[in-house]
Amino acid sequence: MYLIDLGIRDTVAAALFDLGVDLGAIEDIEEDPGLGNGGLGRLAACYLDSMAAEELAGHGCGLRYRYGFFEQGIVRGRQIEVPDDWLKTGFIYEFRRPDEAVEVRFGGTVSLELNGKLRYRLENYEAVQAVPYDVPVTGYLSDTVNTLRLWSAEPSRTEFVCSAENRNDCLKTIEYKNDVETITSVLYPDDSTHEGRVLRLKQHYFLTSASLQGILAGLGRRGIPIENLPDHIAIHINDTHPALAIPELMRLLLDEHGLGWDEAWRLTVATLSYTNHTILPEALEKWPVDIFQGLLPRLYIIVNEINERFCCELWQRYPGDWDRIRAMAVLADGMVHMAHLAIVGSHSVNGVAQLHTHILKERVMNNFYRFYPDRFTNKTNGVTHRRWLIKANPQLSDLIADTVGPDWVRFPCDMLRLLPHADDPSLQERLAAVRRYHKGKLAAYIRDTTGIRLDLDAIFDTQVKRIHGYKRQTLNALHILHLYNRLKADPGMELTPRVFMFGGKAAPAYHQAKRTIRLITALAELINNDKTIGDKLKVVFLENYNVSVAELLMPATDVSEQIPAASREACGTSNMKFIMNGSVIIGTLDGGNIEIRKAVGEENIVTFGLTAEEVLAYYERGGYDPWDIYRGDERVRTVLEQLVSGFLPADPDEFRPLYDAFLHHGDQYFVLKDFAPYVAAQKEIERLYRDRRRWLGMCLRNIAHSGKFSGDRTFTEYAIDIWKLRPAAPVRCYCSADDAFARAENGCSLSARFGMDIETAPPQFN
């Protein structure tokens, strides 16, 4: 990306070519820093890219994990986890900054000292050194270089030589050193054990404390009085995990800067804002008080105070309504409720798609919405078209530029100018040639890595994302099994050849997700080796799905599977990356799919299944009876029985828990309920694909409307509505005016740039 941002990639590639070196091969050697897991982390990377491109001073803070998210291997059809040793050959883009190291303190006891003023002091704590490594974030053809600051945990006690006399001290020092290094050793430690949970909390605190200390130190260096903090700094909490930023900022303001509670609280709330990325309870963390208090005793006192004051406010508003107060409290039932803390301590709370925000407001966080109606806003996700289109698909980028002019790179809504040409056969054929080139490239990769050979005329159908029950890779798998059954029963059946591709990692302790991978690999073994069905069906599980694999897949995919149980997927971002590259979505009416459908038009997407309202109504009624479907739909009965009858080339007991989840545990993600509509939608996809002109027109219309889903639009909404950010240099125009201020003054809207209507509060640049 650095070469692209500097505008010299082609020059460097040509120069290397003259030297007999292939730039692409060098790029392939570079490791993807595996510092995130799914869409949440990748989204943050997209926004960093957008902020630098738009010349805004926006930086990221994270942890420099020694081992990134595990590398996935598939051995005998099952996932194995291999440590991701991404630093083994060094990471040349980072700069260690020991001069900016700070100390983070764990455990200890809190005492009060009276020194003119009452102050809390932490004693007998364990000190850890947080050392920043700065990674420059360049912007596309811009002068701005922002920073991604990654903190590494190092021992702060000086080393000493071990001898027979100091053996115990020596052992303690070794233990301490190991404990410290564990803090930033691995992303997502296993939280099924007590030790794992404590480690996660340590990581949360380490990140938030180090980052806040770094930010405040920077403010001090610029000579800015702490009282003016929110005028200069906006701190955004990316999901619930860093919610400790609230009590930690309070601690720094109270204990280090000597402010009073009310002033500190005002500054904290005005500085912090919070995005919620999922309504799944697993991410709305709660910490048992004993763990929290033991590890962070001073923060616990602060959280207690926040809770008491908040509960008093609630009491004034809802006198006597104990149930409501308990449901909203930050501390309740022996737990610290981090999502509650995040809402109470931030001036803005946003969801990541209209439906998701609606669900937060009306259901999951309804109590809070009623209490703080002005805090809640929506910011529908967007992804960087520079990585997902310009880098991943330079051929399509050139085709777009040839058709609409070069400005689309800065003004993604210019892609709308493709619309008048969407039915032009010559443009369609040029697009078809680009797509075929990428299908060939992907097929070569799959041949080299799995030995499976693909027919480029087949429909390339892709589902890549974390493996999770709600994302319903199982629905896709059951449909494949059903298609296979149809082909076996009627070998002459008319069917456009299909390649079903899957990619994604299962969390190490998530056994159902691992079984889902095994189910897919068993299907692949069965189907790919069955000569009687010719090449009509193929199933591929792509090992170790990551950003590099995604860049290969997006441009080569005809059909993108976006099929979560409605209401569960907050937004999704791969849906946006796929449409940018001209894929057609088959999807449920969930998250971002709804807004994509609105943008591209109902005729350019295939949707099916229960709506979010229907799913939520079922949840409220305690679910539905999957046996009704089992009894009423022979196709469902057949595929389910095939899971456990030994029909698949795997131990049938392996799939018994999946079978049980569908039938005996209420099918909580509505896989059986949505099976029939999904089968019908898949037939519709096939019908559309067979009409080549129609299909290529759909692809072009998807590309044309994708500008709205550029991360530049989203992050600009964050910058203007939430962070009240002042650009370091004039923001590149929103409507061909010269800067963001022009937008404020002449009322021109983002719609000119992104081809959409959005509601934004009037910009207030401070």
> At closest approach, how far in Å is the CB of 563 from ligand 8GP?
13
Sheet holding 272-275, edge to edge: 235-238, 272-275, 348-351, 376-378
* 277 lines the binding site for ligand 8GP (CB under 6 A): yes
Question: 264: burial class by Cβ within 10 Å (0-12, 13-18, 19+)?
Answer: buried
The residue range among 322-330, 385-393, 454-462, 567-575 that interacts with ligand 8GP, by the rule CB under 6 A, is 567-575
Residue from 42, 66, 375, 465 carrying the catalytic annotation: 465
* 45 lines the binding site for ligand 8GP (CB under 6 A): no
471 is catalytic: yes
Instruction: Report the C-alpha gap between 325 and 319 in whole angstroms.
Output: 9
The residue range among 39-47, 252-260, 288-296, 530-538 that interacts with ligand 8GP, by the rule CB under 6 A, is 39-47
Kindly write down the DSSP assignment for every residue of 376-442, as one continuous string: EEE----B-HIIIIIIT-HHHHHHHHHHH-GGGGT-GGGGGGGGGGTT-HHHHHHHHHHHHHHHHHH
Smallest Cα–Cα separation from 734: which of 137, 719, 766? 719
Q: Which is nearer to ligand 8GP, 330 or 570 (CB)?
A: 570
Q: Which is nearer to ligand 8GP, 62 or 77 (CB)?
A: 62
* 63 lines the binding site for ligand 8GP (CB under 6 A): no
Footprint on residues 229-248 left by ligand 8GP (CB under 6 A): 239
The residue range among 35-43, 59-67, 169-177, 405-413 that interacts with ligand 8GP, by the rule CB under 6 A, is 35-43
391 is catalytic: no
Q: Give the total of residues touching ligand 8GP (CB under 6 A).
A: 16
> At closest approach, how far in Å is the CB of 592 from ligand 8GP?
7
Site string for ligand 8GP, 354-383 (x = CB under 6 A): ---------------------------x--
Instruction: Report the C-alpha gap between 181 and 157 in whole angstroms.
Output: 13
Helix (H) or strand (E) holding 61: strand 60-63
Footprint on residues 79-98 left by ligand 8GP (CB under 6 A): none
538 is catalytic: no
The single residue listed with the structure tokens 């044309």 is 704
* 212 lines the binding site for ligand 8GP (CB under 6 A): no
* 283 lines the binding site for ligand 8GP (CB under 6 A): yes
The residue range among 25-33, 82-90, 130-138, 566-574 that interacts with ligand 8GP, by the rule CB under 6 A, is 566-574
Q: Which is nearer to ligand 8GP, 38 or 297 (CB)?
A: 38
The residue range among 26-34, 36-44, 325-333, 751-759 that interacts with ligand 8GP, by the rule CB under 6 A, is 36-44
- Alpha-carbon Rg for the chain, nearest whole angstrom, is 27
Give the strand pairing for 559-562 and 537-542. Answer: unpaired
Instruction: Please state, as a whole number, how many other Cβ atoms lie within 10 Å of the Cβ of residue 656.
Output: 14
* 560 lines the binding site for ligand 8GP (CB under 6 A): no
Tell me which of 9, 33, 34, 39 binds ligand 8GP, using CB under 6 A.
39
Tell me which of 9, 34, 35, 43 binds ligand 8GP, using CB under 6 A.
43
Instruction: Report the C-alpha gap between 352 and 481 in whole angstroms.
Output: 34
Footprint on residues 697-756 left by ligand 8GP (CB under 6 A): none
Tell me the three state secondary structure of residue 203. helix
Per-position b or e across 685-703, b if 16+ CB within 10 A of its CB: beebbeeeeebbbbbbbbb
Q: Which is nearer to ligand 8GP, 587 or 591 (CB)?
A: 591
The single residue listed with the structure tokens 């559309």 is 688
For the chain, the 3-state helix, strand and coil shares in percent, each to the nearest 5, are 55, 15, 30
Q: Which is nearer to ligand 8GP, 403 or 516 (CB)?
A: 516
CA 718 to chain centre: 17
Instruction: Report the C-alpha gap between 599 and 452 in whole angstroms.
Output: 37
The residue range among 96-104, 391-399, 431-439, 570-578 that interacts with ligand 8GP, by the rule CB under 6 A, is 570-578
Tell me which of 9, 33, 34, 38 binds ligand 8GP, using CB under 6 A.
38
* Tokens standing for residue 299: 């923060």
Cβ-Cβ contacts under 8 Å for 482 (sequence gap 6 or more): 635, 638, 639, 679
Residue from 277, 438, 536, 568 carrying the catalytic annotation: 277
> At closest approach, how far in Å is the CB of 19 from ligand 8GP?
41
Residue from 391, 466, 486, 694 carrying the catalytic annotation: 466
Q: Do the Cβ atoms of 582 and 560 come closer than 8 Å? A: no
Smallest Cα–Cα separation from 354: which of 727, 765, 41, 756? 756
Smallest Cα–Cα separation from 75: which of 650, 547, 543? 543
Instruction: Report the C-alpha gap between 470 and 643 in whole angstroms.
Output: 19
Residue nearest ligand 8GP, Cβ-based: 39
Tell me which of 570, 579, 596, 750 binds ligand 8GP, using CB under 6 A.
570
177 is catalytic: no
Tell me which of 352, 389, 454, 477 binds ligand 8GP, using CB under 6 A.
352
Give the strand pairing for 286-288 and 60-63. Answer: unpaired
Instruction: Report the C-alpha gap between 517 and 445 in whole angstroms.
Output: 20
Q: Which is nearer to ligand 8GP, 569 or 654 (CB)?
A: 569
Tell me which of 573, 588, 604, 716 binds ligand 8GP, using CB under 6 A.
573
Tell me the three state secondary structure of residue 328. helix
Instruction: Report the C-alpha gap between 700 and 702 in whole angstroms.
Output: 5
Tell me the three state secondary structure of residue 621. coil
Q: Which is nearer to ligand 8GP, 544 or 574 (CB)?
A: 574
> At closest approach, how far in Å is the CB of 342 from ligand 8GP?
13
Site string for ligand 8GP, 585-604 (x = CB under 6 A): ------x-------------
Residue from 236, 251, 471, 479 carrying the catalytic annotation: 471
Tell me which of 5, 9, 40, 484 binds ligand 8GP, using CB under 6 A.
40
Applying CB under 6 A, the residues found at the interface with ligand 8GP are 38-40, 43, 239, 277-278, 283, 352, 381, 569-573, 591
Q: Could you list the active site residues?
A: 277, 465-466, 471, 573, 577
